[in-house]
Amino acid sequence: MQKVRRTAVERIVVLAVLTVAVMVAVPLVAPVSAQLGGAGVGVDLSGEWAGIFHEEQPERGPGPELGDYLGLPINDAARLHGDTWSASRLTLPEEQCMPHPSTYALRGPMNLRIWKDVDPITQTLVAIRTHGSWMAPERTFYMDGRPHPPAYAAHTWQGFTTGRYEGGILTTLTTHLKEGWLRRNGIHHSDEATMVEHWIRHDTILTVVTIVTDPVYLTEPMMRTTNFRWAPNQNVGAYPCSPFEVIVEIDRPAGIVPSHLPGTNEFVKEFSQTYKIPFEATRGGAETIYPEYQVKLQQMMANEATQKK
């Protein structure tokens, strides 16, 4: 009888120990779950992702036409930069292996690999990292709450990025960017630009919303979306471009950078002439983003038709 009582007491002690162990373990797990925003489908972005090239087709391969600034919230300074830019710059040896900035790279011919960097001791999420196929850019999204560097810190093509989960969506903020481009026809952002991204996973589809703000060249934030499809069998290989293997495509005197003097670039009118769009409309600006602009566009086209009679 005494042995039975001891056994019962031992069982109670064991259950108590297990209960305490569970209570202690829960706080250890909770911060990780909080960091992941409630981990599950639609949160973990790890894996291989292939680009879906069904939107903004000119950006995804051949490149936009010169003078096509429609739908871009740019100011006069940005237009001047685009009008004086020459596509022949890309033949310079210094620019042949120049990577796309993070503000644009996702809209290029890009496939992605995404993985997590987890602290080996605490198992907390330190960072999310990405590798892209075009020009092999690599980004790090710091998830551990560290601050952004001071303003005088170096600016890079990918910038400095921190992230957090909001309702299962990964939201990132990128600062310390070099001057880069928003469209590959001379429309640039300055080194004062910043970018917010929202990485949203719906099962096997990843949508990335990018919002670029620039006090130098934009009058309001520029928003774009890019989609990817989960591709577990994808293999992102090495990019075949090295700054030590560039070639001289066009023989030029040293120090020459192709460009157009202000007011001399006639190529910027080809887009307007080809698609029968009023030249004023092709100059872009925030108003060309919104549906109400269609009324103004129709009026401009009607005025042009009247003038031709």
DSSP 65: P
Cα of 81 vs its chain's centroid, Å: 22
pLDDT value, residue 289 = 94
Each residue of 190-204: pLDDT tens digit?
Answer: 999 999 999 999 999
Of residues 203, 190, 178, 226, the one with CA closest to residue 56: 226
pLDDT value, residue 12 = 42
> For the chain, percent helix, then strand, then coil, each to nearest 5?
30, 25, 45
For the chain, residues with pLDDT lower than 70 are: 1-42
Domain boundaries, the chain: 1-35, 47-64+87-230
How is residue 147 written in tokens? 């601050």
Cα of 304 vs its chain's centroid, Å: 39
Neighbouring residues of 175: CB distance < 8 A, sequence distance ≥ 6: 148, 149, 159, 160, 194
DSSP per-residue string spanning 35-50: HTTS-STTT---EEEE
pLDDT value, residue 7 = 52
At the top level of CATH, the class of 47-64+87-230 is mainly beta
| Distance set, CA 66 to CA 83, 90, 212, 267, 290 (Å) | 8, 14, 22, 7, 22
What CA–CA distance (Å, rounded) separates 10 from 7?
Answer: 5
